[in-house]
Structure 1
C-alpha cells in the first residue's frame, strides 16, 4: 500500500494553518466552512497562544456531530491552561456579514470557495475582505492543473464542486482582491508528487493574505461580544485557565496544602531538611504540625503560580482553606484524620468545581470528502488503484 500523499493531503492543509498560527502568534482564529470542526480541533491542541476559536458553517448537522467533543475534560480542571481559551460554533451563511466575525487575527477558508457559485464567491470575497477584514486570511482550493495526475479522476474532485481554478485563475483572483482591499498576498500550496511534476504546482493551492497597515484600520473595531445578528450560536465553551483568579487561587491552595503535607511527612519521618536559606524547621502546636511558608514557597509550582514571595503570602491571607499561624509564618497541618466538618468543606469545594464546569455554555439548537482524494496503492503487479485517503475537502 503506497499512499499518494504522506501525510494525507487534508492533514497537510491543517498543518499549514497550525504552522502559520504558531509563527505569527494568532490569538483569534475564525474558520469559515468549519464542517466537522477538524481544523479547530488541531488548533485547540497545537495552536499555542490561541485564545479564541470560532467556526461557522451553514450545515448545522455536521457541527453537531462534533461540537460536544470540545467540552473540557477533568484534566482541564486539574491542570488549567496558562491563558484563556474560548470556542464558539455558529450556523450561518458565510456570504452574509455578521458583527461576530470582526476583529480576528486570522480567518481560514479551507477547501470552501469551490463549493460556491461564482457569483457567491464574489459576494463572499467582499464580505470576507471588506466587512470581516481580518489581519490575515488563508484560502485553499483545488488546483485544476494538477487534476490530470490524479488516477481515476473524471470531472471535478467532488460532485458538489461548482468550479476548480487553474493556478493562473486562482492567482488573478487573489491579486485582484489584495489590491482592492489593501492586502499583500503570496501563493503557495501543499501536496506535490515529485520533482518531475513541478510544472503543475501543488495539489491544493493556497493564498495567504496579510492586511497592510493603514490609518483606517478596520480591525480596530473590536469583535462584537453581543448576540449574533445573522448567525445562530450552536455551542460555546470557556476553558478553565490560570488567567481566571478563582481558578488560580484554587490551584494555589491545592499546591500549598500538598507541599505542606509532604514537608510534614518528611519531618515526621526524620528526613526533613531546610528547602532554602532561612526556612524554619516544622514544629508542633498542640496536635498539629506547623510548616514554614518558606518551605512551601520552595515548591517550583507554587513559585510558578505566584511569581513573587510577596504575592504568595498575600494570596494566603484570609484564605480559609489554608490555616496560618498567628504570625502568618507557617501553615497549620493537622496530624489527625480530618473531622466531619472538614470533609463537608471538601464536598462544598467539589460542588463549587461542578458549578464551574456547568458554566461551560452549550446551546442546543464536515468538511466534505472529495471523491477523488483517495490514497493511491500499488497492486502486486504494480498497477495503481484508488483507496480512501480520508482527505477532507
Structure 2
C-alpha cells in the first residue's frame, strides 16, 4: 500500500488554519484546549491582535517540559511588541468549566471532539486541511475542521456568579511591550543614541573624505526649522535641502535638533509623538539636552586636529 505524505505536514496545516482564523477575526484572547507541547501557542504569539494567550492540558509534566516554547526570546526584549501579551498555561481538562475561560474570543480544540452547535447559539461552518492525492477527492479532507461562530443575539446568557477557577496555573509570563512606559523609554533612548552616533560618524567621515569641504554637502533625512545664535556657532553642518535643520558643533558638542531625531522612522514609530519623545529625553540622565530643550547635545569625539 502506497504511503501518502503531506507537504507541509498536516499538523502545520492545522496550525496555519488556526493562525489565519485568529487574524481574520482579530481575536484578543485566545485559548488552546489540549495545548500539549505548546507548538500552536508558540505560533499564535506572533499574531499582533492577540493580547492574552491561554493553554490548557491534562498532562502536567508535558506542560512543564514544553513551557519554554512560549517564553520570550532575546529578540522580544530588543524589539518589544506594540501591544500587551500575557501567556498562561493551565493544568486542567477541557471538560471542566473554569471562569477564566469565559471571555475568550477564540478557542482552538485540535484533536478534540466537542458536541456543541446551534443549540447553544453557534453558527457552524465545516472545512478541512490535508487534501489527498489525485483520485481521492471523494474522500474529503484528511483533517476535518468545524468552526463555531457564536451568534451573540442568539447565545444563551452565561452565568458567572457560581463559576470557579478549577485549573491549576503552571506558568505565566508577560511579554515586553511598548505599552510599558519604562520599556518604551529604554528602547526609544537606545534608538536616539544610535541615531545621534550615526549623525556624528556621517559628519566626521564626510568632512575628512572631502578634505574639509564636505560640511556644506552633508545630507541627512530629517526636516524642520530652527534658529541658532550665530555668535555661539562654532561650526555648522548645513544640509543641501534648505527645509532641513542644521546640526551645529559648539564647544565640542553636536547640537542635534530633536525634530531631526523624531523624523527618523524608527524613533517616530517607537515614541509615538514628538511630545512623548520630549518627555522621555527630559527625564533621563543618559542624554543631555540644550537649555531650551530643542537640541540633543552629543559629544563630537573627534581626535583629529581641525584646521
TM-score (norm 1): 0.63
Stretches of structure 2 lacking an aligned partner (at least 5 in a row):
208-213, 226-243, 303-307
CA distance in 2, matches of 1:306, 1:298: 11
**2:129 aligned with 1:190, yes or no?**
yes
**2:13 aligned with 1:48, yes or no?**
no
Q: Which residue of 2 aligns with 1:257?
A: 193
Deviation at 1:314, TM superposition (A): 3.5
CA distance in 2, matches of 1:201, 1:280: 65
Deviations 1:281-333 (A, max 9, x none): 33333343222212222311111123333333233223322210101111111
Question: Hey, which of these two has a bigger chunk of helix by percent?
Answer: 1
Deviations 1:231-276 (A, max 9, x none): 1111111111112221111111111111112222223342533532
**2:223 aligned with 1:276, yes or no?**
yes
Q: Which residue of 2 aligns with 1:238?
A: 174
**2:176 aligned with 1:211, yes or no?**
no
Written as runs of structure 1 = structure 2, the 5 A alignment for 1:111-150 is 111-113=111-113
Written as runs of structure 1 = structure 2, the 5 A alignment for 1:159-174 is 173=115
Counterpart secondary structure, 1:66: helix
Q: Which residue of 1 aligns with 2:228?
A: none
Classify 1:255/1:235 alpha carbon distance in 2 versus 1 (closer, same or farther; 3 Å): same
CA distance in 2, matches of 1:314, 1:255: 15
Which one of the candidate residues 290, 299, 303 is aligned to 2:268? Answer: 303
Q: Which residue of 2 aligns with 1:4?
A: 5
The more displaced of 287-296 and 35-44 is 287-296
Which one of the candidate residues 246, 253, 256 is aligned to 1:288? Answer: 253
Counterpart secondary structure, 1:320: coil
Deviation at 1:218, TM superposition (A): 5.0
Written as runs of structure 1 = structure 2, the 5 A alignment for 1:73-112 is 73-112=73-112
CA RMSD across the alignment: 2.6
CA distance in 2, matches of 1:317, 1:266: 26
Q: Which residue of 2 aligns with 1:162?
A: none
Stretches of structure 1 lacking an aligned partner (at least 5 in a row):
114-124, 126-172, 338-393
Higher relative contact order (CA 8 A, sep 6+): 1
Runs of 4 or more consecutive aligned structure 1 residues displaced over 4 Å after TM superposition: 215-221
Q: Which residue of 1 aligns with 2:40?
A: 39
TM-score (norm 2): 0.79
Written as runs of structure 1 = structure 2, the 5 A alignment for 1:63-82 is 63-82=63-82
Deviations 1:129-182 (A, max 9, x none): xxxxxxxxxxxxxxxxxxxxxxxxxxxxxxxxxxxxxxxxxxxx5xxx322101
Written as runs of structure 1 = structure 2, the 5 A alignment for 1:146-157 is none
CA distance in 2, matches of 1:194, 1:320: 65
Counterpart secondary structure, 2:198: helix
Q: Which residue of 2 aligns with 1:385?
A: none
